[in-house]
Amino acid sequence: MPEDELEDLPGVGPATADKLVDNGFESYQSIAVASPGEMSNTADIGESSASDIINAAREAADVGGFETGATVLERREEIGKLSWQIDEVDELLGGGIETQSITEVYGEFGSGKSQVTHQMAVNVQLPPEHGGLDGGCIFVDSEDTFRPERIDDMVRGLDDEILADEMERREIEGTPSDEEAMEELVEAFLDQIHVAKAFNSNHQILLAEKAKELAGEHEETEWPIRIVCVDSLTAHFRAEYVGRGELADRQQKLNKHLHDLMRIGDLFNTAILVTNQVASNPDSYFGDPTQAIGGNILGHASTFRMYLRKSKGDKRIVRLVDAPNLADGEAVMRVQNEGLKPE
């Protein structure tokens, strides 16, 4: 939205419009879903003025009111489903990873969490007829896990039919058997993955705000951002806030971070995929003692929770632990050099 349109809101002059845009409040909708305290802190606007601006934006954007279930159903038809390219897992998820939702994948080290984020960074770029969302990826890397070489493996691991279609779509001359053409295709996939390394929890929170700006910049382009991957969501928070005395502060910051990510999903029809670490519950005498960290804050924020656990060899069990409209269940996949594959 051009800055001069923000000046139509009461109390917003050129200087205030500049402040709002500089801090990511670029549309009536992004202003309407903000809180007065948040706007006051980030854009250096008085809380009373911020409240007036937000109320005016809500009225202009027509958000915040009730709507019928039929209207909600119509809006949900805009939600995209990102395929894992594994029928059993897609069926478990009702078609794949949803946009406008947070999907959490947790499990022990080596269970394949980072493999999932890499695979989705590739799959999201495919057209809908091949299970993708025709979009780019933002990858927030907090554990130094992102590897371009892994993207290379996974692109090459796609079906030949998909590879041929992608070469034609991206105007690359050659066939999947042509090494020069394949290198060009891999580079084209890497060009649509925007990676940032998070050095601590504060930096990670800042990157979520930057991700919203980047998604806004790409919204009207050929490659809009359709997935944000955070690998891992909790590593820095877990390392920096140690002990019960720090728990409240940690959960408060984690809650804000999750809401920032969810806002990206809502504003830009983007899927949010986060990985999470686990801990062992010593009080568990029966069953699997592994539990996700992050507490109820993360449990309530995640729309879909998935637990990965190791099996024999390259097999991984994918368990859907929580979803608002799907039954719990399990599926099996393999983590291979070519990427995530069916059993």
DSSP 161-198: HHHHHHHHHTT--S-TT-HHHHHHHHHHHHHTEEEEE-
Q: Are residues 139 and 196 in the same domain?
A: yes
Say yes or no: 117 and 79 in one domain.
Answer: yes
Whether residue 203 sits in one domain with residue 84: yes
**149 contact partners, CB below 8 Å, separation of at least 6:** none
Same domain, 310 and 233: yes
| Distances in whole angstroms, Cα of residue 14 to Cα of each of 7, 18, 58 | 7, 6, 20
Residues 135 and 52 in one domain: no
Short-list 67, 78, 122, CA closest to 101:
78
Residue 25 CB neighbours (<10 A) = 28
Please state the domain count of the chain.
2
The pLDDT-based confidence of 288 (bands split at 50, 70, 90) is low
Annotated binding residues = 107-114
Strand partners, 330: 319
Kindly report, residue by residue over 159-212, the tens digit of the pLDDT.
999 999 999 999 999 999 999 999 999 999 999 999 999 999 999 999 999 999
- Cβ distance 340 to 319 under 8 Å? no
Average pLDDT over residues 64-81: 81
The reply to whether 93 and 172 lie within a common domain is yes
Q: What is the mean pLDDT of residues 228-241?
A: 93
The binding site for ATP consists of 107-114
Q: Verify that 57 and 85 share a domain, yes or no.
A: no
- Average pLDDT value over all residues in the chain: 90
- Domain-embedded: residue 1: no
Which band of pLDDT confidence, cut at 50, 70 and 90, is reported for residue 219? very high
70 is a domain residue:
no
Helix, strand or coil, per DSSP, at residue 41: helix
**CATH number, domain at 38?**
1.10.150.20
Task: Specify whether 128 is located in the same domain as 34.
Answer: no
What CATH number is attached to the domain comprising 168? Answer: 3.40.50.300
Whether residue 320 lies inside any domain: the answer is: yes
> In terms of domains, do 252 and 107 share one?
yes
What is the DSSP secondary structure assignment for residue 291, as one 8-state letter?
A: E
* Residue 339 identity (one-letter amino acid): G
Percent of the chain beyond pLDDT 90? 64
CA distance linking residue 57 with residue 277, whole number of Å: 39
Report the b/e string of 279-314 with b at 16+ CB within 10 A: eeeeeeeeeeebebbbeebbeebbbbbbbbbbeeee
Co-location of 55 and 80 in the same domain? no
Backbone phi and psi for residue 223, each to the nearest 5 degrees, phi listed first? -125, 75
Give the whole-angstrom CA distance, residue 240 versus residue 114: 22
pLDDT of residue 3: 46
pLDDT higher for 168 or 290?
A: 168
Give the residue from 181, 146, 182 showing the smallest Cα distance to 275: 146
Give dist(CA 183, CA 289) in Å, integer.
44
Predicted pLDDT of residue 1: 42
Measure the N-to-C terminal CA separation of the chain; round to a whole number of Å: 47
Does the pLDDT of residue 101 top 90, yes or no?
A: yes
Domain that holds residue 132: 75-341
Distance CA 342, CA 339 (A): 10
